[in-house]
Structure 1
Amino acid sequence: MLWDADQKEVVCNESYDIIELFNSGLNEISSNPGLDLSPPPLKKKMDEWNQVIYPNINNGVYRCGFAQSQEAYDSAVNELFNTLDMVDEHLGSSRYLCGDALTLADVCLFTTLIRFDIVYNVLFKCTKKKLIEYQNLHGYMRDIYQIPKVAATCNLGAIMDGYYKMLFPLNPSNIRPAIPSGCEHEMLSKPHNRESVSWVERDVDALIT
């Protein structure tokens, strides 16, 4: 949610619209106005990825965690991990989702990946695999985490508090588990070696099918 403190009103409640606003709508006060994570030549490819990532991964983890029936959970968890498997395969030949350039599509995916093993795998029952078991996805997450100033935005303890201590129906004990060793800063800071990944252009629809 984007809140206007002066007007005391909600400016925007849609996460993708908010990151698009931060990408280009505040350039007059930005310290790096030349940075564009939504370049026009990649817009179509970004939209294609977002149409897959949002329902199956970003929202998919919530569909698992808040499923009201076994059937709903089974459907959501299968779609989630089928999509993670597909993205992991794609990232074996592409440094980022749309090639060699970081885009807003990567930002959207990263926000779920950084929470995956510390929250969604446990609290939301996304248990088929841990993210650390995905060689390409985990390296990709570390690649983005190690971009200057990104790690400073990833307060894992605060993230865990926001879930384990706020979602009472899912965690009535209010106990926050320990951060898994694979998710600690030292692990996330290990070399990812993704600079050498060779980009092979692929059609997103072909990957899904």
Structure 2
Amino acid sequence: MSRKHEDVAHALLERHGRTYASEAGITLRDTPQPLYQVLVLSHLLSARIKAGIAVASARALFDAGMRDARRMAEATWQQRVDALGKGGYRRYDERTSTQLGDGAELLRDRYGGDLRRVREAGKSEVPGLLREFPGIGPSGVDIFLREVQGLWPEFAPYFGAKAQDGAEKLGLPRSVDRLARLASGPDLPRLAAGLVRVALDDEAGAEVRELAGAGAGAR
């Protein structure tokens, strides 16, 4: 991997290397509650809505007490709509409220509220099982596995198409194996999230390139 690529990756981690789970206030651990919260966040982020609104809406749901599958299922449809609206998630709020309720019931009834039981099915089965949750499509699966790869290392390195798009915008390779050489351990999901931000925001990409260039010039 070239020094230029390393400079870009360092600048990306410094400026935009924050996972979406962290931004949503989720303390990520391999336990039922935070894993469920990442699933909710992945659902919201996968809709055609600004990432900041999705993150704010996830926070609003959790602040309203809907932090695990049982509480989400027991909340009323209107309570979920109200929390989504508080976060600014209004375009899809009614359908999303229904999907969140149905998904919570599925997780509670089939898996005891614990996504680790989905993981037990094996690496090849997990993406398909995740897609059985209402509102979780291919994009939602990508987001979930990208965020939890530090906890579920059998899926690492995981970037997904959106992160690869961000890599291309920065002049980095799209190859998952080559991107994985630019970060390790807890920095891997941070790198992936930063690449997604660049894919979604041209200004973020310009900022990273400028910072990387300044760092190279200082040597």
TM-score, length-scaled by structure 2: 0.28
TM-score, length-scaled by structure 1: 0.29
Bigger fraction of residues in helix: 2
Higher relative contact order (CA 8 A, sep 6+): 2
